[in-house]
Amino acid sequence: MQSILKVTFLLLLLISAGASAFTECTRPVDRIWNSLTASSSVWMTFSDGGSAIFKTEAQLTEGQMARFVSYALAAQASGRNLIVRYPENGLQCPPTGAARNDAEGIWITPN
């Protein structure tokens, strides 16, 4: 009975480890686009040549959109980088290819 419990515990541990996987990349902000049309969106490009990030109003509330833009502007104005969290584990930084809409969070790096 104990061996069954141990195996079950290990399997649950392995399954949950994959669910919390992510990659964080430090990215230098180059440009920020905030659409003022009916379907608002935010685009951020980075000077490291990696893929851009975009978010639409369908993905973010109005408050989240405002915070997303203000973090990016603060990083750009202060010359600091953003740390961007992507949902993939082991992603190469910076991610390349098409613009990504799956960034889970951003924050500004310290000095």
Q: By the 8 A CB rule, do 6 and 25 touch? A: no
Q: Which residue has the tokens 């480890």?
A: 17
Residue 11: the pLDDT is 59
Name residues whose C-beta falls within 8 Å of residue 16's C-beta, 6 or more positions apart in sequence: none
Domains of the chain in start order, with CATH, are 22-108 (2.40.50.110)
Is residue 67 predicted with pLDDT exceeding 60? yes
Percent of the chain whose pLDDT exceeds 70:
80
* Banded model confidence at residue 70, pLDDT cuts 50, 70, 90: very high
pTM of the predicted protein model? 0.74
